[in-house]
Structure 1
Amino acid sequence: MKKSKELTIQLIKSLLDCYHQSSNKQDYSIDKKNIKYILNQTLRQMWIPANKLYVSVKADQLWSMLTTGEHFVQFYKDAVVIKNRDAIDLDLYKGNAKLPYTKRTFYRNNKFSFREVFHDDHIIPLKLIVNKLIELEDITDEKISNIISSISVCRMLKSEDRAIPNKSARVFDERKVIVELYKEKAGIVIKDYPYV
């Protein structure tokens, strides 16, 4: 039986083959733009190795104040239950809004949606990774594996995410994004990151 990573790479390879052989609007074909969308969604669903998961110091501190357990067990719409505090005021965000829609006081056993306070930022945007995959001339398992191994995520506060300037103009270099964009331009410090 094939391992999950091998099956995932085969799925990506099949999508890339469809992309390169696709003629739009033929029976049972998928438009190229939709293949890029499916690739993006496929990459979003992959489990990322622990060494590619980062957390900002501020997000880590708030998480420790609010609850127990590991950071990367809750995502997006999951409920975060307050276990460690009697009362805390939190700014809550909706969707892509730049500013919080409300400030609310939470007490022990109250809950909020993960995405109202925290944000998981793909350090190298998945759009860039999809483009690298699409640009492959010789589609091999090794080349696909090398590209998808560049996927990494930083968990941060929504307020930190909103401080990142020009979010769509990133380089394909994890360290540069963490040091130059996060730390130097937005003041986001990653817990235990080897800056030197």
Structure 2
Amino acid sequence: MSVVHIVDYGIGNLYSVSRAIEKAGGEARLTSDAAEIARADRILLPGVGAYEPCISTLRETGLADPVLEFAATGRPFLGICVGMQLLFDYSLEFGRHEGLGLIPGHVAAIPPSDEAGTRKVPHIGWSPLLVPEGRNGWEGTLLDGAEPGVSSAYFVHSFNCVPDDPARRLAEADYAGFAVCAAVEKDNITAFQCHPEKSGPAGLRILENFLRK
């Protein structure tokens, strides 16, 4: 059975994520121990709420460096929601806050309106996952087996990741004319703005694919 060590820094839907990992056929282990993270086969970085409390708490608990060191091993790494946003260089949520810098880029607010009209923020609910322009598909990724435009995922967020390299965008979701960055991929790191643990069959497939890595 594949084991997923979930980084427990006191923030995130730890119970829901653990249950989803188990439903996908894996074993979930919460950990706040640097040595255990270093030995892990794969880790998951969760996060909910505002960016600054998440990144500050990750650092204050002494877990930021172990997470960075694990990422450098090449072993499978999954980020979810604010856990995805923390991977970027910085966020502009309530000021500028430096992130982990694992994926070049930043996090910015979803625009509340554009020439097409007004959109509600936050983005809450189900949205179909789409293949970004320039990407051939999802074969061999954590979205392998998902159907573009058909497979939907559950989102709850007001801020959006903006990778410096558009090729890092693994999936998008159209939100009232705005292309939300739904997932990113860089080397051994994959992260989702949506919540796989709340996304039904599509989310379960994502976690099953992660367990196979």
Q: TM-score, normalised by structure 2?
A: 0.21
Which has the higher Rg, Structure 1 or Structure 2?
1
Q: TM-score, normalised by structure 1?
A: 0.22
Larger fraction in helix: 1
